[in-house]
Structure 1
Amino acid sequence: MSDSWAVAVDLQESTTPSVQFARLRKVARVAAPCSTREDINGNIQPESSEKGGSRKFCDQTDLAEQSLLNKMIRRSLVRNRNQVEVLQRDPTSPLYSVKSFEELRLKPELLRGVYEVMEFNRPSKIQESALPMMLAQPPQNLIAQSQSGTGKTAAFSLAMLSHVNPENKWPQCLCISPTYELALQIGQVIEHMGKFCPDVTLAYGIRGNRMKRGVNLQAQIVIGTPGTILDWCTKLKLIDPKKITMFVLDEADVMIATQGHRDQSIRIHRHLTKECQMLLFSATFEDSVWSFAERVVPDPNIIKLKREEETLDTIKQFYVICKEKEDKFTSLCNLYGSLTIAQAMIFCHTRKMAAWLAENLSAEGHQVALLSGEMTVEQRAAVIERFKNGLEKVLVTTNVCSRGIDVEQVSLVVNFDLPVGLDGRADNETYLHRIGRTGRFGKRGFAVNMVDSRHSMGIIHEIEMHFERTITELDTSNLEEMESLIS
């Protein structure tokens, strides 16, 4: 792979300005003869350097020339996108997209895990594009956007299992995620996929897993949350960051939205070597995520979706007009009584509302589980395990479960309360992650939003505009209409 390119892979045939911009990142850096950096808008900016105690800045004339050159390169690449995507179509390239797991030349024991345990038939779209990059030699850095339920967790889990040297009994791959539940789920994928790799071990760097300072941690893969992982790297000295050769950051948009997670993630990154392979994943990419990604992933390959592709086509989205919570509850019962539902997840804005709803659903005879942030780690793990095993058919929760929790049988997601930000506007990213709990791996799913005011109707319109999708009104009191819309 030429050093002068950062390959951007479009998951669809069309291209967008943001993808085109991504293709130019490394070009601009190579074209600039002096020390520069590119800001989030693609403009060349001077970058100070220190040598012998003095600071040196680029000449403004040079900057103007570099900016012009950058724009010229951008225009030429927009005219001919095949120049940068040819590497993914060339079978001799290490970044060649694959159509089967055999093409990745995986170890036989990993192939057995993929087929026999995970029961995969062929790579998903994100897997066929991302895995060659993650497994390439020399290692390639990657920033990837992928819809929920498309197999990104399995992709980077397979990359970590392929990457480690089982003979080295120390942490080599490090993965951080924003929640305890998601860390556990990632670990379970690794354990299942690596079933036939007995020499590869896994450790969970999560709250409640108490470790003593200086313990000789022999696990090659460590999965955890930012705060605990940072402690293991700095205070407890369980992980030597200089020996980490692959770093995976999952759900990047959540990381930067939570200031503590963002700061801890950056501090962990600072302890790693420049040679460490960096992989960053998220279902959404706003400007703030790109800015964060630039800080932690140098010279990346980039996979990005167009905004209108972010919502899954397999999920039918509806809204129901209600007056108050009791009206919402009646509509929910009508909906649940008329649909063939394997399992359902219902999202509430507050713990109090979630508790009220769970109690009333139980009184109606439904098998209900309740999950909220004030529960202990052990309680939350037990609730999720029961729900995954089908012991409860309905999970009532707050946003603690909006990300990454993968239960294949979930066919219905209900936003009992619509997701809103602190500014009172639609929280589009949380909406996307919530409804992404259904429609997994191409299966059909339904998302129903309860609208109880003019303001919440405005939230629905904001979501429609953001994703450029229509959300259809549903009358839950009209059984025939419901059956025709959801069939």
Structure 2
Amino acid sequence: MSAEDHWEEGDVETTRAEASLLNKVLREKLVDSSLQVDVTNNDPKSPLYSIKTFEELHLRKELLDGVYAMGFNRPSKIQETALPMLLADPPHNMIAQSQSGTGKTAAFVLTMLTRVDSSLSSPQALVLAPTLELATQIGDVCTQMAKYIPGIQVAYAVRRGARPVKDEVDEQIVIGTPGTVLDWVKRGKLDPKQLRMFVLDEADVMISMQGHQDQSIRVQKMLAATCQVLLFSATYDEDVTSFAGRIVSDPIMIKLAREEESLDTIRQTYVSVRNEEDKYDALSGVYGIISIGQTIVFCKSRVASANLAKRMSDEGHAVAVLTGDMDVTQRVHVLERFRHGKERLLITTNVCARGIDIDQVSVVVNFDIPYDVINRRPDYDTYLHRIGRTGRFGKTGLAVNFVDGARSLDNLKAIEAHFGKTIDLLIPSEVAEKEDSSDW
């Protein structure tokens, strides 16, 4: 059996919910995106204008102070367009598509904090999220933004094991998962008809999870006709379109398209090595001379990742390791450390190949070129997603492939032909010469 037959299938992908959570953790600050915001307005009477500062929204001082305390100095692209319409009276329903880190959570949280009356001890705004972890992330944003507004409280309608829940809900904002929210409604803890605002976040994740779609629709049907309804999704395919149509009536639609994987900003290279020992020496060389940004190294298996990480750590290198056998809490911890620069090199499997965007990454190394064992050919899709972890948001990046023999070289040449992009032989000294330049 060849070495290529030892590829692990279990690490190929993280779930949509986990990827969304990890992206929220990674993007503490907004992505400065230049992508165009497209607006479709179904209400001809609705205003279509944008703002460039938060002051233009005429927010109460306490809320504005909370916004600035979070480091939001100016509105993001989607906030510029969405916030004036979200805050308009009478309220407008909205469907918005935007990727993680563009400010959608802050936009609807700011709208909620404007709509709710802190002097009333009853639920007035409800947010549905797919998982406990995502609900907690939204709650954290809400708590931070409301830190200067007295009386604002958040309740979590999520399953927390055997932990008792009080009979009455007097918090103004409820954030929860669909099943638990429905349970609260059945038990009389939450009256949907009293809600002023209903938000369904991560719609594409929601419909991928068993039962969440039907439960969300059941909650929406209980709302008063005057309740403002918002739906957010990172993607907007046919399934999400159908779902959104059942949730949101007469919406304004805003689209900030997710950046697709692209090879245009990535210089693809390869290093010729003889064996695993050469691979390690080459990695140490690349790691030692790159001082900008951070690096992700992709290995073919959990065992290979763990072995490589141990060897580098034993030799004094600050490295992180992330594999599919870790739970989401462990992965969050690893990625937070990596984002903050505690380690500059992350060794991982394909668990990080799809959907997770780490803005600081300038180099991706394929320690093992991805291979499709079933079809006996290079895995072109995984290759694209792996090296797409660099060169994000208009930045330039470098991809380095280790080639350790004739078969490995043949696979690389097949990848080169498949994408129609040249993969150059990399001379390690070139990296040192170019690391201060944006032109890889």
Aligned to 1:43: none
| TM-score (ref. length: structure 1) | 0.62
Aligned to 1:276: 227
Q: 51, 70, 73: which one pairs with 1:98?
A: 51
Conserved? CA contact 1:147–1:312, under 8 Å:
no
Residue 473 and residue 425 in structure 1: after superposition, are their counterparts in 2 closer, same or farther (change >3 A)?
closer
Question: Structure 2 CA distance, aligned partners of 1:332 and 1:285?
Answer: 39
Instruction: Tell me whether 1:169 sits opposite 2:117 in the alignment.
Output: no
Question: Structure 1 CA distance, aligned partners of 2:154 and 2:163?
Answer: 15
| TM-score (ref. length: structure 2) | 0.67
Question: Structure 1 CA distance, aligned partners of 2:180 and 2:282?
Answer: 42
Q: C-alpha deviations, 1:151-209, integer Å up to 9, x for none?
A: 22222221222222112223322223345544333333222222212311223444547
What amino acid is the match of 1:295? Answer: R
Aligned to 2:61: 108
Cα RMSD, aligned residues only: 4.8
Q: CA shift at 1:331, angstroms?
A: 6.5
Conserved? CA contact 1:182–1:403, under 8 Å:
no
Instruction: State the secondary structure of the residue aligned to 1:280.
Output: strand
Residue 186 and residue 405 in structure 1: after superposition, are their counterparts in 2 closer, same or farther (change >3 A)?
farther
Residue 348 and residue 96 in structure 1: after superposition, are their counterparts in 2 closer, same or farther (change >3 A)?
farther
Question: Structure 1 CA distance, aligned partners of 2:301 and 2:246?
Answer: 34
Listed as ranges, the gaps of 5+ residues in structure 2 are: 1-33, 403-407
Aligned to 2:71: 119
Instruction: State the secondary structure of the residue aligned to 1:248.
Output: strand
Question: Structure 1 CA distance, aligned partners of 2:412 and 2:182?
Answer: 40
Aligned to 1:248: 199
Q: Percent identity?
A: 46
Question: Structure 2 CA distance, aligned partners of 1:454 and 1:238?
Answer: 63
Question: Structure 1 CA distance, aligned partners of 2:416 and 2:243?
Answer: 29
Q: CA shift at 1:109, angstroms?
A: 0.5
Conserved? CA contact 2:285–2:428, under 8 Å:
no
Q: CA shift at 1:478, angstroms?
A: 3.6
Instruction: State the secondary structure of the residue aligned to 2:266.
Output: strand
Bigger helix fraction: 1
Aligned to 1:310: 259
Q: CA shift at 1:459, angstroms?
A: 8.2
Listed as ranges, the gaps of 5+ residues in structure 1 are: 1-9, 28-83, 88-92, 465-469
Conserved? CA contact 1:98–1:132, under 8 Å:
yes
Q: CA shift at 1:382, angstroms?
A: 4.6
Instruction: Tell me whether 1:265 sits opposite 2:265 in the alignment.
Output: no
Q: CA shift at 1:343, angstroms?
A: 4.7
Q: Which moved more, 1:265-274 or 1:117-126?
A: 265-274
Conserved? CA contact 1:149–1:439, under 8 Å:
no
Q: CA shift at 1:127, angstroms?
A: 0.5
What amino acid is the match of 2:102? Answer: T
Instruction: State the secondary structure of the residue aligned to 2:313.
Output: helix
What amino acid is the match of 1:480? Answer: E
Which protein, 1 or 2, shows the higher relative CO under an 8 Å CA cutoff with sep ≥ 6? Answer: 2
Question: Structure 1 CA distance, aligned partners of 2:80 and 2:132?
Answer: 28
What amino acid is the match of 2:195? Answer: I
Instruction: State the secondary structure of the residue aligned to 1:302.
Output: strand
Residue 453 and residue 156 in structure 1: after superposition, are their counterparts in 2 closer, same or farther (change >3 A)?
farther
- Aligned counterparts, 1:385-404, within 5 A: 386-387=337-338, 390-395=341-346
Conserved? CA contact 1:318–1:471, under 8 Å:
no
Residue 243 and residue 364 in structure 1: after superposition, are their counterparts in 2 closer, same or farther (change >3 A)?
farther
Aligned residues: 391
